[in-house]
Structures are given as structure tokens and as C-alpha cells.
Amino acid sequence: MADKVIAWFEEIRKEDVATAGGKGANLGEMTQVGIPVPPGFMVSAPTYKKFIEKDLAAKIKKLLDINVDNSKILEKNALEAQQL
């Protein structure tokens, strides 16, 4: 699963925690043992990291270059980062 962009819960095992994350690995394990889990998939951690680095890291870094004592700007920038 290490080279996959996404993986369905049925394809994920606890051994995939480095790629699927803890929640993804747990959902995969629950699916494997027959616990009712809604159908779904997860985006691999390396894919997510590439997306952040390519498209968002510079924008988010710029939003973080502020005076943290100014709560109005801090709140505004936090909301903007969430929207990104």
C-alpha cells in the first residue's frame, strides 16, 4: 500500500500505519474482522504530504508569520489556513 495514492479500508492492515495513519489502519482492521464500518477510503500520508508541500506549505507559512499576541489577526489567519 506504500505506493498507493488512496486505499479502500478493505485494503488496509495494521502494518500500514506508517502510510495509512492510525485511524486509517484501525478502520482497515475493523473492516477485516467484520465490524460494520461505512465504505470508505483514505488518502495515503505520503500523498497528503506531497499535496501540502506542493500547494499549501508556502501559503500557510506566510499566514503564520504574525504577531501571536494580536488575537484578531491570529483568528483571521487561522480561519484562512483552514479554508486553504
31-59: b or e for each residue (b if 16 or more CB lie within 10 Å)?
A: beeeeebeeebbebbeeeeeeeeeeeeee
pLDDT in tens, the chain (84 residues): 768 899 999 999 999 999 999 999 999 999 999 999 999 999 999 999 998 998 899 999 888 888 888 889 989 999 999 998
For position 83, what pLDDT does the model report? Answer: 92
Give the sign of the dihedral formed by CA 13, CA 18, CA 19, CA 24. Answer: positive
For position 2, what pLDDT does the model report? Answer: 65
For position 66, what pLDDT does the model report? Answer: 83
